[in-house]
């Protein structure tokens, strides 16, 4: 998230008209698991939404928040597949996500590629 993204938020009429009313932002994105990536996003959001506190986490956490508050195994099967174990407090991943280009099992793109390969082979 950079200057261009900040400009999009500021130029969006509803965002600018109501930004003072927003008090909490949950932002989940692949790659938001390092202090640098979190700080970059925090910088833009805090500048655009002055009254808001933000929670910025990697995309696996949105699956955790949506499914459980107790110990569990949580999986994402989308553009990039990933899974983790949540102990009720923190996430433990055995393998880091390599992104959707490498870890695409389970997505529509993956199945179309497998179908086309089966057809042509």
Residue 33 lies in a domain: yes
Q: Each residue of 14-57: pLDDT tens digit? A: 666 777 888 999 998 877 778 888 888 888 888 888 899 999 98
Position 50 scores a pLDDT of: 86
Q: Are residues 48 and 87 in the same domain?
A: no
Strand extents, DSSP E, the chain: 24-28, 53-57, 72-76, 82-86, 91-92
Position 68 scores a pLDDT of: 85
Residue 62 lies in a domain: no
Q: What is the C-alpha separation between 111 and 104, in angstroms, rounded? A: 9
Position 92 scores a pLDDT of: 76
Question: Which of 57, 88, 103 is a domain's end point?
Answer: 57
Range of the domain at 38: 1-57
pLDDT tier at 107, thresholds 50, 70, 90: low
Residue 118 lies in a domain: yes
Q: What is the pTM assigned to this prediction?
A: 0.62
In the three-class reduction of DSSP (H, G, I as helix; E, B as strand; rest coil), residue 87 is classed as: coil
Residue 63 lies in a domain: no
Q: Are residues 34 and 74 in the same domain?
A: no
Q: What's the total number of domains in the chain? A: 2
**Residue indicated by tokens 């999009």:** 8
Q: Each residue of 71-101: pLDDT tens digit? A: 888 877 666 667 788 887 777 776 665 555 5
Position 23 scores a pLDDT of: 92
pLDDT tier at 8, thresholds 50, 70, 90: low
pLDDT tier at 115, thresholds 50, 70, 90: confident
Q: Are residues 27 and 53 in the same domain?
A: yes
């Amino acid at each position: 998230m950079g200057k261009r993204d900040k400009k999009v938020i500021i130029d969006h009429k509803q965002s600018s008209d109501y930004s003072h009313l927003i008090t909490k932002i949950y932002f989940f994105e692949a790659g938001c698991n390092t202090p640098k990536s979190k700080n970059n996003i925090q910088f833009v959001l805090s500048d655009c939404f002055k009254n808001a506190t933000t929670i910025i986490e990697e995309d696996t956490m949105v699956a955790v928040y949506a499914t459980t508050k107790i110990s569990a195994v949580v999986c994402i099967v989308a553009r990039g597949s990933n899974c983790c174990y949540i102990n009720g407090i923190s996430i433990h991943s055995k393998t880091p996500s390599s992104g959707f280009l490498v870890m695409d099992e389970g997505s529509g793109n993956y199945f179309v590629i497998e179908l086309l390969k089966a057809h042509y082979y």
